[in-house]
Amino acid sequence: MTANASPRADIYSRVTGKIVADLEKGVRTWLKPWSVEHTAGRITRPLRATGQPYNGINILMLWSDSVTKGFLCPIWMTYRQAGELGGQVRKGEHGSPVVYAERITRTETNAKGEEVENEIPFMKGYTVFNCEQIEGLPAHFYPTPEPSRETVARIAAVEGFVSHTKANIVHGGSRACYVASTDNIHLPCIDCFRDAEGYYATLLHELTHWTKHEARLNREFGRKRWGDAGYAAEELVAELGAAFLCADLGITPEPREDHAAYLASWLEVLKNDKRAIFTAAAYAQRAADFLQGLQPKKA
């Protein structure tokens, strides 16, 4: 356990430190930084070379590096994978860290002298490169510009997604919130928003809150009042969950009007707990997966 403790703590500190630095600049690391088409079709979440999307904290880490380094391509791979595909990482390029969690089983002797098996979780990191850092890959690994849209209308894919959750949404008024006591989502009418994407990003934020109900994921961070650590943790989960869903559904969220207040509360939580962003990302992934699980099965 001792051998793994230092690298794991270092990963928590490095990732959290980067996200805190972004938030202090007013930048939300988790906003999808590109809007592109590939020959393989529209891609939104960061993808591995195999086409499998990254999850949880790795989405945030790779989105952040895409913003910092100006990458449009959302596909990442290891140095070895690049070589296996006929590519070569350009000289002088620096990779980006990603992490994965594993468990090891150890046999130990308990206080009664009995041998028991204990599972010990640990985290490892490795390095990946964006396809824009690699030469010689097949064409579908590189992005092409997305045609611009002149008008923004209701987005059928998101309407259908939300409809299949069976969440009760009450339109009207000026507030956007999830009310646990009535299990209702309250939203202003779509015409009150600057554009349709802002409306849907807000709706997906509240829909992520909706998953915390005890009949669903039963998520509770010990919130006692508005603005406390429990409140900030749940808001961070909802923010990340909405970002993941926006990526899946192909929409680009805009900062909410109360963004500044959220930034302050998130920063306090992240500075006090280096693991908070990992925990929030895991809960957000769970919420997104839950909502995806309510969708009709594809034939």
Q: What pLDDT digit, counting tens, does each position of 11-50 carry?
A: 778 878 878 887 887 767 666 555 555 544 455 688 899 9
Q: What pLDDT does residue 1 have?
A: 38
Q: What pLDDT does residue 115 have?
A: 80
Q: Pick from 153, 165, 150, 104: which is nearest to 289 by CA?
A: 165
Task: Please indicate, yes or no, whether the overall pTM of this predicted structure exceeds 0.85.
Answer: no
Inform me whether the pLDDT recorded for 202 exceeds 80: yes
Per DSSP, 52 falls in state: P
Q: Once rounded to an integer, what is the mean pLDDT over residues 161-171?
A: 95
DSSP secondary structure string, 182-229? TTEEEE--GGGSSSHHHHHHHHHHHHHHHTTSTTTT-------STTSH
Helix (H), strand (E) at residue 32: none
Q: Once rounded to an integer, what is the mean pLDDT over residues 41-67?
A: 83
Predicted confidence band of residue 299 (pLDDT cuts 50, 70, 90): low
Predicted confidence band of residue 4 (pLDDT cuts 50, 70, 90): very low
Per DSSP, 288 falls in state: H
State the helix-helix crossing angle for 196-210 and 229-249, rounded to 10 degrees.
130
Q: Reduce the DSSP state of residue 106 to 3 states and report it.
A: strand
Q: Provide φ and ψ at 70, rounded to 5°.
A: 75, 30
Check if the beta carbon of residue 93 is closer than 8 Å to that of residue 133.
Answer: yes
Rounded (10°) CA dihedral 262, 267, 272, 278: 80
| Four-residue CA torsion sign, 166, 53, 156, 203 | positive
The most confident of 222-226, 231-235, 249-253, by mean pLDDT: 231-235
Q: What pLDDT does residue 39 have?
A: 43
Q: Pick from 174, 171, 169: which is nearest to 209 by CA?
A: 169
Could you list the beta-strand ranges (E) of the chain. 36-38, 41-42, 76-77, 88-89, 96-109, 115-130, 134-135, 144-145, 168-171, 177-179, 184-187
